[in-house]
Chain A
Amino acid sequence: MGERVAIILGMGLGTYVLRVVPLLLAHRVRLSRRMIRWFQFVSFSVIASFVWFGLTAGTLSPPGFPIPGLRVVAWGLTIAVAAWTRNAMAGMVAGVVAAMLLTRGAS
């Protein structure tokens, strides 16, 4: 329990430093265009990696394809709705409802 709270506080501290340091020190530091671009790519890359972890629960070598079939269908629907509507909330709701219905239909 104590370790988990410490990790959460560490997450908060790290995030807060990222938010506040540029506001207080920006007049001394200038980020190059390439560095800003690298920050963007890192953010996108980490989010994409977390999607994989979320879909597979970090399972590395399960028998067969690592993503259960029903999730692939719900995941595809999530992408389609979010890209079509350009609305993350609509995509998330569509995917989660699909996951729920498919799971209940399969059971």
Chain B
Amino acid sequence: MDREGWATFRAGARAAVPVCVSFFAIMFAFGLAAHARGLTSGEALLMSAVVFAAPAQFPAIELLPLGGQAVQILLGTIFINLRFAVLSFALLPHFTRVRKAALTAGAQFISLSTFALSFLRFQRKSAPDNFGYFLGVAIPSYTCYLIGTAAGYHFGVRIPEGFGEAIQFIFPAYLTALLASELREGRSILVVVAAFCATPLVETLVRGWGLILTAVVVSTGAMGLEAWWESASPSS
């Protein structure tokens, strides 16, 4: 990497400081929760390293200790991470000069936060060194993600009894806060409410498939309603 490339990388790393702080805090909570759920530190770190997607990791540590949940966990992970395919599609026009080998390696660092930070910068100033900027954002963020996991896991050993309720609450609180802070569009909020209400019903009817079936039914229904609404709207 030449001098200009390093400057771009450093600019990305400077911009990533807020992402690093939030990743450390969230993954500290993940490490704590993983410890409370009985995962080994190696399993918790491995999951953070290979998945790099907290919304999929928190549910997985709830289901892993139950056993016999492999299909539910794997399909749930893929469904919850489908957004990465959309993010990759959105980044592609900005990485046209990047070699396939570099894209193959860098793809692991795509997350909602690293995408958002890079994508917004590319909208302002797209340049041939976009990929260097993306790596500047992503590598420190990924590192803090792993450090947060390890710190949370090992600090968890010293958590006194009586904090169990708060630790168990970290996962739903994190996902709830993510949805409440990010969602502004009415139809998406309706999908969230519908899925939340439908999950216990579907899980009761088809044990072990509540998550997947709810996602397919609610999302397909919402898309059908949206298409109907748009076709019925006089302005469309």
Contact = CB atoms under 8 A, between A and B. Distances in A.
A80 B234 CA distance: 36
B195 A24 contact: no
Contacts of A91: 173, 176-177, 180-181
Classify the secondary structure of A's interface with B.
Answer: helix
A34 to B, nearest CB: 6
Interface string B32-63: 00000001100100110111110110111011
A10 B76 CA distance: 12
A48 B196 CA distance: 5
B79 A46 contact: yes
A59 B200 CA distance: 9
Contacts of A52: 196, 199-200
B222 A11 contact: no
A93 to B, nearest CB: 8
A24 B171 contact: no
8 nearest A-B pairs in the assembled complex, by CB-CB distance = A12-B50, A91-B177, A54-B172, A22-B88, A41-B219, A82-B180, A100-B166, A95-B173
19 contacts: A3-B70, A6-B70, A9-B46, A11-B47, A12-B50, A12-B51, A15-B52, A18-B78, A23-B92, A23-B95, A24-B103, A31-B89, A36-B89, A45-B195, A51-B172, A52-B200, A88-B180, A88-B182, A92-B174
Given A12-B50, A43-B82, 12 more contacts: A4-B43, A5-B46, A12-B47, A14-B81, A15-B51, A46-B211, A51-B175, A82-B178, A90-B177, A91-B180, A92-B173, A104-B162
